[in-house]
Structure 1
């Protein structure tokens, strides 16, 4: 067979860009069974309505076969009025129930698609925060957008139509077997060709579609990374390199696109030839049986019409089964998050106290490569600790470990003698909060954005939180106040305002331990200094671990840890470290010129 050969390589780049797993066959089957169980009533109704529509459609061949039989028997009175009336009733029933089939199928598809979207969202937001932080941007976006879009068509059309096609074909074959059993056996003549063609196709299609989806994810990742880092690319003149990378990803993706098209170009002619063989075999076998007197002409007429009617359901089954091959890959990518082991949280583990301790902590983002090396430190309750050091030293990584975002590779991070890694994420968030420079404003009112931290907060508490972060001035100036719509499609908050909203959420959440990673970086130095002083009053008595890039933050801290090369090289107060004349003293002199 001449055609496109599959690519000799599996595109490695898509796989390397993917950190979220793709669900295996067992995971997909388990999820599908669960989905069908949830909607078994709707499925049963769809099958029942479809069965009535198919049985009604079979009335025409039976009525025509009986007319032909009476003609061959020499009947003078055909009673065509009664036949026409029966046909009209059957046609009316078929029309009504076919419409119901489409309606019930569309409703079932939308319900299952809604369940799938909700399941994916709920499972994704419940993942360990570190998993989502390390997820490839392009891969995550392609799952949320492209894979959902592909599944939308499958859920709305493929699943209901596949049910319709299977029931339709089964009833037609059953009707053929009842009317003329020898003609049902004639269908076997076309079976080998259809089986061989389908086996050839379906052995290649799943992996090809999987690679095609991975190729698209790689294209999305390359484009998203290029857009996100646009200024850096322009500054370092990396434009040509990024274009070449995008071209390479697109070439890999289009090769798989062409290969899947080649597979379909083989399958569809095989299906058409199968239809021709079915009709020819029914007519040839039926003709021989009629000439031998083993079958009458009416049976042959009915059987030939029923065999011709098989063309549509078989085409539907193969067409939508092919669509499900694409959908299965997308479904595997969406339910793949179910294969991520949940955090080994123990709901019975509760902190007894507020002291934070890191003991011989090692951590790395890649196997065998540590970012932090045997870090140990104690943070007493109510202490304000500043983490300082050069870029890339591991300050933010250490802050995320102390906030419970990551679990150490070895060693332990404890809060009140309880290991953060053993506590459920919800429990950790009750005690420890992380605030960084990346703040998201959700679509909705300003009030709703604030109440994410405390759903039951009263209006006075919301204004008090805004006032604590110096945001009540611009918030009161809004036309609708707290009811002003913000986010996409609403009022676009400036980065500084978005940061203040995030800090107001922090005030409302009221955790006893906070990790601040460049939490005021989007404000100008004077405004940031003023805000930090305002926050200092709010945060009085709480444990605050601040990753300090502006050394005035460190100056105000009770304790300063200097992080260099993934280790704590100095630990002490501002005055102690300046007197020691080490790394911190050098940073301080550099900061002050």
Structure 2
């Protein structure tokens, strides 16, 4: 088997800021009625809040003028306070409902995107990146949608209406409220230019940290057997240092940004009191106007503070959304999605491999100029020593990876251009790695074809010699986490039963029976051969009886096909295969 590719340092793609904004607009337009209702209710609540300061200004002026009866103004102030509370509660309810609906849509889109990811992209990126996106990034986006967006919306509406109220009181009284704007504009511009990249680096560092942890946990026995604990610990230390530095960078941005805006908040209130007082002394404005303007300016501080605080959370949420949207984008098509032209059709025709080379790392090819033609319905065995490139060839044939050079076509259509949902029904890959999902035994088998009947499930299990233990367990038995534990050999049979139900026209079996004992494996392969008659089968084999039963055998060494022919032809040729056969048969 060829070596496993390393995770790409870059991880999975990240959507551009432009694409994130465009998608946010699409979501807003999709829910335009709910957005309009939320904005309208917040506007009414903010407008109700404007009445209080104005009425308080009138109250101060009346008291100054010697008016004793203030009952009417007091009742009006109370009425508007109650109205603002009711409208605010209703607006928050509508906003929260809208937020949960949008969040559900984003989660569904993310799940669809993850399921549509090419396996090669996931392998190259590493599990840590995907795990971090499905956990931490989803949580960060949920916080932004649930809290940051509604709070920002409320703040913007309140600020606009409050400034409008100040202008109506008197343009001269509105000017002092803007004294802090230059400072806020400058520091916010400085922050926004740096925040997105900093938060993306922080999230990427968490992905790298999770990747290291996952590798260490998954390979715990190997780590212990080869005494790699110190090396893995050093790797974790480096990842922690990187993550710590990335988090310090975002913290540094906040420690500059947030205190600066706090200082800028004091200036408008002071300026309004001073300027308003001077204007009142000159008889330009009334005491009521100065009082209302000061209260309006004071009232501006809370929404501005909220806006700038949640602006930071929006940057975090925007970075998370860029990573979540990134799983739906093809690096080769920066503004597209994981998709390909839907016009291609595949007939059950030959598979052609022409001049294929492939590398997991630049400059280190593991396949070299491989060419091969596989006829429809042919059974081809691929044999060779470990590291010869057999598994890599199998993954390329199944479309898991795209060759660095050369082409692979099925019925004249390049495998790389097939839509993923079509590819997975045309060419199926079964390896030694299997997963038993939490659910019933039947649920696990029908993953390939959910509409399959119990009779079809039983036939598939019989075809892979699994019916004896499966019937004893029962199709409704719970398996996977928390259920009945299946042995590795039983999990392998389960994966092959899925394959029988999927019924693709081309199968790539990468040592798919390696976990069974030789006698059971041979019986299973013969049963499969009867069920899969007429299908094209490429079997990557380490047991040579698989090669003996094949129509043709391809022998690989050092990433090249060095021999190709039938069993008898290759034995008679006295080459690499003949040596393998003599060694294996003599030992058997």
| Kept after mapping to 2: 8 A contact 1:180/1:300 | no
Equivalent in 477, 489, 492 of residue 484 of structure 1: 477
Tell which deviates more after alignment, 574-583 or 486-495: 486-495
Aligned to 2:62: 70
Distance 1:499 1:106, change over 3 A: same
Aligned to 1:40: 32
Aligned to 2:121: 131
Aligned to 2:582: 589
Aligned to 1:239: 229
Alignment partner of 1:470 is 2:465: yes
- Map residues 389-428 of structure 1 onto 2, 5 A cutoff: 389-428=384-423
Residue correspondences, number = 576
Q: Secondary structure at the match of 1:17?
A: coil
Task: Report the Cα distance in structure 2 between the residues aligned to 1:527 and 1:22, rounded to whole angstroms.
Answer: 47
Aligned to 2:541: 548
Equivalent in 19, 32, 56 of residue 11 of structure 2: 19
Task: Report the Cα distance in structure 2 between the residues aligned to 1:115 and 1:44, rounded to whole angstroms.
Answer: 19
Equivalent in 526, 535, 543 of residue 533 of structure 1: 526
- Map residues 155-554 of structure 1 onto 2, 5 A cutoff: 155-340=145-330, 341=333, 345-478=340-473, 481-554=474-547
| Kept after mapping to 1: 8 A contact 2:382/2:541 | yes
User: Cα deviation per residue 1:481-522 (whole Å; 9 max; x = unaligned)?
Assistant: 323333334444333222222111111111222110121123
Task: Report the Cα distance in structure 2 between the residues aligned to 1:493 and 1:43, rounded to whole angstroms.
Answer: 50
Distance 1:498 1:32, change over 3 A: same
Task: Report the Cα distance in structure 1 between the residues aligned to 2:145 and 2:77, rounded to whole angstroms.
Answer: 34
Task: Report the Cα distance in structure 2 between the residues aligned to 1:191 and 1:352, rounded to whole angstroms.
Answer: 66
| Kept after mapping to 2: 8 A contact 1:513/1:542 | yes
Tell which deviates more after alignment, 310-319 or 198-207: 198-207
TM-score (norm 2): 0.93
User: Cα deviation per residue 1:10-62 (whole Å; 9 max; x = unaligned)?
Assistant: xxxx9952331222222222222212222222211111111111122222212
Equivalent in 142, 146, 157 of residue 136 of structure 2: 146
Task: Report the Cα distance in structure 2 between the residues aligned to 1:273 and 1:347, rounded to whole angstroms.
Answer: 58
Q: Secondary structure at the match of 1:364?
A: strand
Distance 1:343 1:311, change over 3 A: closer
Q: Secondary structure at the match of 1:378?
A: strand
Aligned to 1:577: 570
Post-superposition offset of 1:586: 2.2
| Kept after mapping to 2: 8 A contact 1:352/1:418 | no
Post-superposition offset of 1:195: 2.1
User: Cα deviation per residue 1:436-470 (whole Å; 9 max; x = unaligned)?
Assistant: 12222333333333222223211111111111112
Aligned to 1:10: none
| Kept after mapping to 1: 8 A contact 2:328/2:338 | no
Distance 1:301 1:344, change over 3 A: closer
Task: Report the Cα distance in structure 2 between the residues aligned to 1:281 and 1:554, rounded to whole angstroms.
Answer: 89
| Kept after mapping to 2: 8 A contact 1:353/1:417 | no
RMSD between aligned residues? 2.2
User: Cα deviation per residue 1:248-276 (whole Å; 9 max; x = unaligned)?
Assistant: 11112112212322222222222221221
Q: Secondary structure at the match of 1:477?
A: helix
Post-superposition offset of 1:319: 0.5
Tell which deviates more after alignment, 361-370 or 42-51: 361-370
Distance 1:405 1:253, change over 3 A: closer
Q: Secondary structure at the match of 1:570?
A: strand
User: Cα deviation per residue 1:182-206 (whole Å; 9 max; x = unaligned)?
Assistant: 2211112222222222233333322
| Kept after mapping to 2: 8 A contact 1:17/1:221 | no
| Kept after mapping to 1: 8 A contact 2:7/2:125 | no
Post-superposition offset of 1:357: 2.4
| Kept after mapping to 1: 8 A contact 2:7/2:123 | no
Aligned to 2:3: none
Post-superposition offset of 1:368: 4.0
Task: Report the Cα distance in structure 2 between the residues aligned to 1:42 and 1:485, rounded to whole angstroms.
Answer: 42
Post-superposition offset of 1:294: 0.9
| Kept after mapping to 2: 8 A contact 1:72/1:297 | no
Q: Secondary structure at the match of 1:22?
A: coil
Task: Report the Cα distance in structure 1 between the residues aligned to 2:53 and 2:338, rounded to whole angstroms.
Answer: 62
TM-score (norm 1): 0.92
Equivalent in 87, 102, 119 of residue 97 of structure 1: 87
